Structure 1
Amino acid sequence: MSNSPEQSIDSDGLSPEQRLEPPNTGLLNAGIVTINDMETLRACVAYENAHQNRVQILRRLEHRANELCSQED
């Protein structure tokens, strides 16, 4: 049984909703920069697309994806 992106919990114990809907922008930034794997990042992108679809947040997630890809090289 798979979890929906909203219910998915990553290894840090945070769901995409908790990462992308914090009470302040400082926590939002922290939620994005602490994404350490592509699975979590994909879940966050799916959550953002389904709920807020904020271009600025999607760009931050894209930037984080590029960082993760460059770390794998």
Structure 2
Amino acid sequence: MRDPNMTGYAPQPIAGITPSDQIAVTSRVVTCDGGGGALGHPAVALRIEAHSVTCPYCSRTFVLAEGAGDDTGH
């Protein structure tokens, strides 16, 4: 989720520098570890509130697939 209060939690994309990885997912809760094994980052669970969420470590953006994400739970 992009940070609407601009507290600095969410990364700000910089054209030509920030990776533009966009991964389509079918669940509102995703886990990101950077994908590099030992070269990645600590695993972090992210929740998609609207349409997408960006990892604060590696700037990968997870986009909710069309028609997905109506899951409910805790």
Q: Please confirm whether the aligned pair reaches a TM-score higher than 0.5, indicating the same fold.
A: no
Larger helix proportion of the pair: 1
Larger-gyration structure (1/2): 2
Larger strand proportion of the pair: 2
Report the TM range for the smaller structure's normalisation. under 0.3
Return the TM-score normalized by structure 1.
0.25
Q: Which has the higher contact order (CA 8 A, sep 6+)?
A: 2
